[in-house]
Amino acid sequence: MSGVEERWCVVTGGRGFAARHLVEMLIKYDMFSVRIADLGATIDLEPHEEQGILDQALSSGRAQYFSVDLRHKSQVLQACQGAEVVFHMAAPNSSINSYQLHHSVNIGGTANVIEACIEGKVKRLIYTSSASVVFDGIHGIINGNELLPYASKHIDSYSATKAEGERLIIKANGANGLLTCCLRPSSIFGPGDRLLVPSLVDAARAGKSKFIIGDGNNVYDFTYVENVAHAHICAERALAAELTVAEKAAGQTYFITNMEPIKFWEFVSQILEGLGYKRPSIRIPALVMMPIAHLVECTYKLLGPYGMKVPQLTPSRIRLLSCSRSFDCSKAKDRLGYTPLVSLQEGLRKTIESYSDLRAENQSKREGPSKASIFLGSGRVADTLLWKDKKQTLSAVLILVAIYYNFILSGPTIISTLSQLLLLTLVFLFIHGILPEKILGYTIEKIPTSHFQLSEEKSHQVALSVISLWNTAIDVLKSLSMGNDWMLFLKVILSLLILSFLGAMPFQSLYAIGLPLAFVIFYVYEKKEQEIDSMVLDVVSFMGKLKSDVARKLRTSKKND
C-alpha cells in the first residue's frame, strides 16, 4: 500500500463527466494515488459521492484536489510535479460557441500540460480527444479507422481545436522519455451526463421529440462512460508495458466505442421510451430542415449580443442528426488490449435508471419555458417579444416607433438616415456626459467607453462568420457546377426568388410590416402552440412527400435519358 501511495497520477478536468468515472476506477483498482485537477476553488462532492469511494480516498490522502486553470502553466506544473502519469481530459463544454475559449484550453492548455510533463519528467500522457476530429459535418463515416485524415473543415471550434491538441500530443511523444497517445471516444453516454439525456428530455417535454431528421437509417457508435474510463486505463497499461508493446502503442490515436453500432434514432428512441416518452416517428428530410436551421443561426448571430442563448436548431446539429458516424476499434483492441466492459444495452439500462427524476411522470413537477421562448433564447429578447416584461416591451415599441417616424417614414436616403442617427447619438452622449451623477435624487448611470468597443473575440467571431458564409456559398456553387444536384438547384432558385421579392419591397414597408409581426407572431404562437404545430406538421409532411416525388421523377427521367 505504501508503494501505491508514492505513485501519483493526475486527471485534468477531473470533475467532468467521463473524468469522474476514471477517477473512481483508478481508486477502485488501487493503481495510483490520484490528483484531481479542475477549475473549481474547492471540490464539492455530490450527494451520491459522499461517504463513497471518492470521499474515503480524499479523507485518507489517496486522492487530492488541485484547483488548476490549464491556461496558467504554473498551476499545471504544480499539479503534475512528481506524477508518473497524466490523463489529460479537461476541455470546455463542446456546446459553448466560443473559438477563443476552446483555443485557449484545448490548444494553449494542452501545450502547458505537455511542457509540465516534460519538465516534471512524467512518464506517460494520455489525451482524451474526440471522434469528431475526422468529421466534416457533411460526409458520413461508416466503420472509419485511424487512417482517416483530419476534417478539412470541422463542424465547430471544439472539434477543430481538439484536432490541434492531438497534433501537439503526438508530436510530444518521446520528448524527454515521455510516452503519449490519444483516445477518440465516440458519443459518450451514461449516468452523470448533463448534456445528451437532459437535452433529449427537454426536447420531449417541448413536443420536439416526435420528429426524425433524415431517413432515420444513419448509424452511430455510442460509448458507455465506464468503457471510456476503462480505455484510459488500458492505454496507461500499454504505455507502461514492456518496451516492444509500449513503443507500438505510443504516438498513436485510437477510436473508442462500445463496438456495437446502432441506428442513431433507435438509440434515442430507447432512451425516451425508457423514461416514459414516445419514440420519434415522423420523418422530416434534412433538406427541409436546413433552411430553417440557417435562419435560426442567422437570427442568433444578430440577437446573440442582446441575450439570445445558443439555439439547438443549427445546420451543424442537423448534419449530426442525419449523418452516419461509426468507427473501427480494432487498433485499440490490438495495441491497447481494449474491449468494452459494459454492453450497449446494459449501459442504456443503467443510464435510464440513473435519470429517474427526468421520467415523464415527473413532468408536472418541472415547468419549463415555452417553445417560443426557447427559440428566442429565453433571454431579454424573448421577454420583450413575448410581452413577459410589459414595461420593457412598451419601451422597445416606443423607441422603434420613434425611429420609424423620424428616420424612415420620410423616405430619406441611407446616407442621410445614418447621418441623422449619428448626429442624434452624439448629442445624446454629449448631454449625458455633462449631466451630474444625481438629479432630484435619481442616479444617472454613466456609459463606460468599453460599452462601445468591439472585443477581439467578437471581432474574430464576426470574421469567422463572414468567412464561413463565403465558403458555404463557394461550396454551393461548386455543387451546382457539377450539374447533378437538382434539389440543390431548385433550393437555390427558390431562395433567390424569395430574396428578390423581399428586395423589391421598400425598406419603409419592410420595417412597417416586419416589426409589428415580430411582436405578434411569437406571442400568438406561445398561446396557440399545439394548433400551430399541428398545421406546420401537415405542411412539412406534404413538403417531404413532394420532395420525394420530385426526386424520384428526376431519377427516373435521368435513367430514361
Q: Which residues are annotated as catalytic?
A: 162
**Rounded Cα gap, residues 11 and 85, in angstroms:** 9
CB under 8 A, 24+ apart: contacts of 295-303? 296/375, 300/377, 301/465, 303/376, 303/377, 303/381
CB distance 236 to 85 below 8 Å: yes
Q: Is 266 left (phi over 0), alpha (psi -120 to 50) or beta?
A: alpha
Eight-class DSSP state of 387: T
Q: Which residues contact 317 (CB under 8 A, 6 or more apart)?
A: 293
CB distance 370 to 526 below 8 Å: yes
Residue 271: name the closest of 358, 363, 371 by CA.
Answer: 358
**Rounded Cα gap, residues 111 and 98, in angstroms:** 19
CA angle 163, 166, 170 (to 5 degrees): 145
**Rounded Cα gap, residues 280 and 213, in angstroms:** 10
Supply the Cα-derived Rg of the chain in whole angstroms: 27
**Rounded Cα gap, residues 247 and 335, in angstroms:** 10
Q: Which residues contact 496 (CB under 8 A, 6 or more apart)?
A: none
**Rounded Cα gap, residues 528 and 514, in angstroms:** 20
Phi, psi (deg, nearest 5) at residue 143: 55, 40
Take residue 81 and report the three cell numbers written for it. Answer: 510535479
**Rounded Cα gap, residues 402 and 503, in angstroms:** 24
